[in-house]
Amino acid sequence: MIEGNINSQGELFFEIGLIASDKSIMFAPAILDTGFTDWLAMNIQAMKPILKPISFR
């Protein structure tokens, strides 16, 4: 079961656990994409600590 919060714009926010290559787990907020695009939208600030160095534009 997924637990989360619905904001005033009707978006569902919930927390997910991301597992790094060293098996550490980082929890980050995510938003449910109901557009049936097979994508999970996340704030880039939540992703930076686990990404390999790449260029953000």
Against a cut of 0.75, is the pTM above it? no
Residue 36 gets the label, from left (phi > 0), alpha (psi -120 to 50) or beta, of left
Q: Which residues span the domain enclosing 10?
A: 4-50
Give domain status of residue 56, yes or no: no
What was the pLDDT predicted at 37? 59
Q: State both tokens at 56.
A: 């953000």
For residue 13, what pLDDT band results from cuts at 50, 70 and 90?
confident
Dist. CA 1–CA 56, nearest whole Å: 33
Q: Which two structure tokens, joined as six digits, stand for 48?
A: 């930076």
CA distance 3 to 41: 17
On whether residue 37 sits in a domain, the answer given is yes
Q: Provide the pLDDT for residue 20.
A: 84
Residue whose C-alpha is closest to residue 15's, from 30, 5, 25? 30
In a domain, 15, yes or no: yes
